[in-house]
Amino acid sequence: MKVTRHSEYLKLASVYLKSAKNSFLSEEELSEHWETLQYLSKPNFKKSLEEYAAFQTFFREKNISTCFFPINKKTKIDSIYCRDASIATDFGIIICNMGKQGRIHEPYAQLEAYKMNNVNILGEIKFPGTLEGGDVAWLDQNTLAVGHTYRTNEEGISQLKGLLQPQGIEIIVVELPHYKGKNDVFHLMSILSPVDKNLAVVYSPLMPIKFRNELLERGFQLVEVPEQEFDSMGCNVLAVAPRDCLMVAGNPITRKLLEDAGASVHIYEGNEISVKGGGGPTCLTRPIDRIIH
């Protein structure tokens, strides 16, 4: 079986997750941190565990190998959104440096877990560089898009280029707008989810014209998320295989548009683990290997 880590849509073979139990820890932990980490409201711990159990079952039923990041007392509840602390490449894992101060310990916690599992590390983003995995998306095997945002700065992007350009990877920098400001969760993958080699879910009102044109020139058909489904994470769609998608419940228009484009769409209830913390299925997962057909 030939695999790659340079894809957002090929058949998913293995993924890292961090369970609600290992990240939220307790009702008391949620009460202590949800406001300072800018959650919409406090997640209910018991309901979070129930939602996550159903979310996790989806991967088991798809026969996707799952590995779990363990409890780490230095990390906080945001560590459930495990995509952000690292980037998977065919040359090894890149350990990020978080732009959100409350998440600074997450990359090192993931580094410990990767080392424990003998996962090769390509490099680390070092201060003053910041880079978060939600700002990074593979467009094809040799092209990586990276958002310049409040979470990912120019120095972080420069270090990313230093790690990947010598390996022949093209880096496309996407200049994202201020939108709601420094405290908001606004990543590149807030407005882009590739779900096949020529199909992507997008929110065009916040997408730079240059980058949108780049996608069109590369042959992408764009599934346009309506304004009323942007805040409910209609644009946050995880492909577990080409046009085989997982999204949070509550986005029926986007779901119908995806189905009209030939996609199979699975939904999960994510009010506690996704909506309140602003992290959909792409945020909740750190995909590793995908199968090359």
pLDDT tens-place string over residues 160-178: 999 999 999 999 999 999 9
10 Å CB burial of residue 61 (0-12, 13-18, 19+) is: exposed
Token pair, residue 112, equals 């410990």
Residue 105 pLDDT > 90 = yes
Phi, psi of 127 (to 5 degrees): -55, 140
When the pLDDT of each residue in the chain is averaged and rounded to a whole number, the result is 97
> Domain ranges in the chain?
3-291
Residue 71 pLDDT > 80 = yes
Contact 246, 58 (CB under 8 A): yes
Residue 180, CA distances (Å) to 144, 185, 241 in order: 25, 9, 33
The listed CATH number (3.75.10.10, 3.50.50.60, 1.10.10.10, 3.40.50.1820) that belongs to domain 3-291: 3.75.10.10
pLDDT in tens, 250-269: 999 999 999 999 999 999 99
* pTM of the model as a whole: 0.97
Residue 52, CA distances (Å) to 43, 47, 270 in order: 12, 9, 8
pLDDT in tens, 4-14: 999 999 999 99
Residue 55 pLDDT > 80 = yes
